[in-house]
């Protein structure tokens, strides 16, 4: 499922990154790559910004960017 559909508070595992090279470089520089877990902290209005975290790194993604990132839900410990 795309990251854009993940609800607030859910933790997911990244399966694939967007094809856009600049965005892919930006995410990889922050340690966001396939296999990394991210948590959705906040969601903007429908179709808006997604506030996510991976470890100690927090960042924002536009809805269009989040739709290009495939994820799998992770069970909470």
Q: Residue 69: which residues within 8 A CB-CB, separation 6 or more?
A: 2, 3, 4, 14, 16, 17, 18, 61
Look up the pTM and report it: 0.88
Q: How confident is the model at residue 45 (pLDDT cuts 50, 70, 90)?
A: confident
Question: In total, how many domains does the chain have?
Answer: 1
Find the CATH number of the domain harbouring 23. Answer: 2.30.30.90
Rounded to the nearest 10°, the torsion over CA 16, 2, 18, 22 is -120
Q: Provide the residue range defining the domain that includes 67.
A: 3-73
Mean confidence (pLDDT) of the chain: 92
pLDDT, tens digit, 9 for 90 and up, residues 31-42: 999 999 999 999
Q: Residue 59: which residues within 8 A CB-CB, separation 6 or more?
A: 30, 32, 51, 52, 53
């Amino acid at each position: 499922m795309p990251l854009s559909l993940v609800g607030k508070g859910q933790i997911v595992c990244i399966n694939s990154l967007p094809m856009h090279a600049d965005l892919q470089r930006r995410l990889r520089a922050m340690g966001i790559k396939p296999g990394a877990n991210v948590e959705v902290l906040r969601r903007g209005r429908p179709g808006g910004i997604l506030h996510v975290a991976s470890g100690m790194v927090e960042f924002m993604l536009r809805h269009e960017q989040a739709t290009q990132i495939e994820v799998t839900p992770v069970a909470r410990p």
